[in-house]
Amino acid sequence: MEVTEICPLTEDAVAKLLADREAAAPSSSARERRKVARWPFPGTAELWIPQENDIERYVLATSLNLSLHGVGVRCEEPLAPGLELDIAIHEPEMSFHGRAVARHCTEIEDEYLIGLQFLFSST
């Protein structure tokens, strides 16, 4: 599929992307041990980090893995757990935009590994 637009980040859209990747991948016992499958998804993630006075700071990050409920990213800047932000995730099959909340942030060798949980709208 050629990406021609950025789609809203929805649970159905992420589920389809994961299902398509799972169908194309060989079976793995490591994936089966997880309650929710987490797939390696190297790609680009754009983050809009809220600042004071309703200003946002734009930061590029690298997505590392993706699950139905969130994404792990590597970034040069830390994010405080609980921080809500706008996010865009770009994969070869499709790109998404939506909201996420930082759940953890760990510094490793001058970079940060950050777990972001998707915030799906109820509409």
Pair 92, 51: CB distance under 8 Å:
no
Q: What is the pLDDT of residues 67-116, one digit of tens each?
A: 999 999 999 999 999 999 999 999 888 899 999 999 999 999 999 999 99
Delimit the domains of the chain by residue range. 6-24+38-119
- CATH placement of domain 6-24+38-119: 2.40.10.220
Considering the entire predicted model, what is its pTM?
Answer: 0.81
3-state secondary structure 24-75: HCCCCHHHHCCCCCCEEEEEEEEEEEECHHHCEEEEEEEEEEEECCEEEEEE
